[in-house]
């Protein structure tokens, strides 16, 4: 086997990388990025891997969410705050239902590059390169804007660094206080659902009152007011990921320090491809998107390449088949992973298999199809005796109108009101939180499986 090096991926076929006209400029930008401080510390990625190992064992649940594509235009402290806030609110609901801790991972502080289904886009007879994400080119439909510009990587790095800085402050500085998160959820139930889902919050109120009576509250217990929050994105732009990969001085291992967790997309997971080669050598926890074209034997080979020591927490398999296709594709994959005894987290992305085009021309997803895919994922996992360990969603804390349905009953006609995404349609704040409430029954049943796994292991 050929030796892995930082740039060994360059010898493998590569898909979805931008073609820069000015290669010299790209090299110059990357040589500077290489010297920039890491965004995360390797020790933090190791902590996340440990937390994900708990998910593998059925002792925790993974919640991963954020924008499809972060953008320069939507960069604002309020947007960062509101996305973080909804992730906390969802986590509280999920924790109360599952009675296990929730591992919180944002698609944030680096989720810029996008693989696109077509290399070009046509509008009114004009054909231009597709938009590939704000760290590569611009959304504006002009020749100039659609040219990949290496200098955009600087701006993306800087945005990621300040986003992460604020997230760290929110996580540790008191914003994540459990009492406060509970109050936000009570507000949502009262104002948006006419009291529906009250039962879950009542349970939380009782638990908080009980703890308070025992003298445990967020004033005297840090764990009730601080959270661990991790970042993630698709490791698509390999030249940038390479520039951010450093040797961890405490262990001598390579870590991609652009995020705690990176994943390989459904379009770039070829066994002999550059993205798999790159991810093989970094020690971060890795995600792998599993779509309808993935064969069982291919999946096993990918897991063996990416996780040769079968380390729990290293691999997260993210199922994304579409609401009506889960039963068709997922059981086979779960069976072969079980048969091989592979330690993986199974997570569900109910977004990417459910994208449709509305009559009004907008790319959208129905809230019902999103809920249905998650429920089917839980049902299949249950019948296969496998622990459904996570949820991976595209969402925002803003009140956008990008996905139809939900408590606000967003219709196709409403989509144009606040359609702001730079790529795929996201659940808005209410839809994301409602999703957490709607799957609470499935999550509860899920904990029966985790108890079995825990018992079997002990
Ligand atoms: C994504 O998660 O943004 C994405 C492009 O997903 P997939 O690779 O599953 O299509
Ligand atoms: Co997307």
C-alpha 118 to ligand 1 mean position (Å): 14
DSSP 240-294: HHHHTEEE-TTT--EEETT-SEEEE-TTS--TTSHHHHHHHH--S-EEEEE-TT-
Structural domain range at position 326: 8-118+149-176+226-457
**Which residue has the CA at smallest separation from atom 10 of ligand 1?**
266
pLDDT band at residue 52 under the 50/70/90 scheme: very high
Q: Is 12 exposed, middle or buried (0-12, 13-18, 19+ CB in 10 A)?
A: middle
Ligand index nearest the alpha carbon of residue 421: 2
Domain count, the chain: 1
Residue 171 has pLDDT above 90, yes or no: yes
Let me know if 80 is exposed, middle or buried by CB neighbors in 10 A (0-12, 13-18, 19+). Answer: buried
In a domain, 196, yes or no: no
Write the pLDDT tens digit of every residue in 261-302.
999 999 999 999 999 999 999 999 999 999 999 999 999 999
* Mean pLDDT confidence for 70-87: 98
Of the candidate ranges 188-202, 308-322, 352-366, the one whose mean pLDDT is the lowest:
188-202
The answer to whether residue 214 is domain-embedded is no
Lowest-confidence range among 133-142, 211-220, 436-445? 436-445
Region 186-202: mean pLDDT is 93
**Within a domain: 206:** no
Residues pairing with 116 in the sheet: none
Which residue among 15, 118, 320 has the greatest number of ligand 1 atoms within 8 angstroms of its CB, and so is best to mutate? 320
Distance CA 152, CA 148 (A): 8
Looking at residue 86, what is its pLDDT?
Answer: 98
Is 265's C-beta closer than 6 angstroms to any atom of ligand 1? Answer: yes
- Give me the CATH number covering residue 100: 3.20.20.70
- DSSP tag of 437: H
Output the pLDDT for position 1. Answer: 64
Nearest to residue 423, comparing CAs of 130, 75, 94? Answer: 130
Of the candidates 103, 159, 87, 27, the one whose C-alpha atom is nearest the C-alpha of residue 316 is 103
> Would you say residue 53 lies in a domain?
yes
Whole-model pTM above 0.85? yes
Backbone angles phi, psi at 48, to 5 degrees: -65, -40
The average pLDDT across 405-428 equals 97
- pLDDT confidence of residue 446: 81
Output the average pLDDT for the chain: 96
Residue 379: inside a domain: yes
Q: Residue 255: inside a domain, yes or no?
A: yes
Residue 455 pLDDT exceeds 80: no
Do the domain assignments include residue 291?
yes
Residue 47 covered by a domain? yes
| pLDDT given for residue 448 in this prediction | 73
């Amino acid at each position: 086997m050929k030796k892995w090096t930082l740039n060994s991926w360059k010898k493998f076929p590569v898909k979805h990388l931008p073609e820069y006209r000015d290669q010299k400029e790209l090299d110059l930008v990357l040589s500077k990025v290489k010297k920039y401080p890491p965004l995360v510390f390797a020790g933090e990625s190791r902590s996340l891997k440990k937390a994900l190992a708990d998910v593998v064992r059925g002792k925790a649940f993974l919640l991963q969410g954020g924008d499809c594509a972060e953008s320069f235009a939507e960069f604002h402290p309020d947007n960062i705050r509101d996305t973080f806030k909804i992730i906390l609110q969802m986590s509280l609901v999920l924790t109360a239902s599952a009675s296990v801790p929730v591992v919180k991972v944002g698609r944030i502080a680096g989720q810029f590059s996008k693989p696109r289904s077509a290399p070009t886009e046509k509008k009114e007879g004009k054909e231009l390169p597709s938009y590939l994400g704000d760290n590569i080119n611009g959304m504006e439909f002009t020749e100039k804007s659609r040219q990949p510009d290496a200098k955009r990587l600087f701006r993306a790095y800087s945005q990621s660094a300040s986003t992460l800085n604020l997230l760290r402050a929110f996580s540790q500085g008191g914003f994540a206080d459990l009492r406060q998160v509970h109050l936000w959820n009570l507000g949502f139930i009262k104002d948006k659902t006419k009291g529906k889902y009250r039962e879950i919050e009542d349970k939380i109120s009782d638990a908080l009152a009980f703890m308070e009576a025992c003298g445990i509250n967020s004033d005297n217990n840090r764990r009730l007011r601080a959270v661990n929050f991790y970042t993630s994105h698709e490791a698509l732009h390999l030249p940038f990921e390479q520039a951010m990969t450093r040797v961890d001085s405490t262990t001598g291992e390579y870590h991609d320090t652009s995020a705690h967790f990176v994943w390989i997309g459904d379009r770039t997971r070829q066994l002999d491809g550059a993205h798999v080669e790159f991810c093989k050598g970094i020690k971060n926890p890795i995600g792998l998107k599993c779509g309808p074209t993935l064969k069982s034997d291919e999946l096993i080979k990918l897991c063996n390449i990416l996780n040769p020591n079968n380390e729990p927490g290293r691999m997260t398999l993210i199922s994304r088949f579409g609401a009506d296709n889960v039963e068709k594709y997922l059981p086979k994959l779960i069976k072969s992973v079980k048969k091989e005894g592979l330690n993986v987290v199974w997570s569900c992305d109910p977004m990417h298999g459910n994208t449709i085009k509305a009559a009004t021309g907008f790319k959208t997803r129905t809230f019902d199809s999103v809920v249905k895919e998650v429920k089917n994922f839980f049902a299949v996992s249950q019948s296969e005796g496998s622990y459904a360990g996570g949820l991976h969603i595209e969402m925002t804390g803003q009140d956008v109108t990008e996905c139809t349905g939900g408590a606000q009953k967003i219709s196709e006609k409403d989509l144009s009101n606040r359609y702001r995404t730079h790529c795929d349609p996201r659940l808005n704040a209410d839809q994301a939180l409602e999703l957490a409430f709607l799957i609470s029954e499935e999550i509860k049943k899920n904990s029966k499986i985790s108890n079995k796994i825990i018992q079997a292991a002990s």
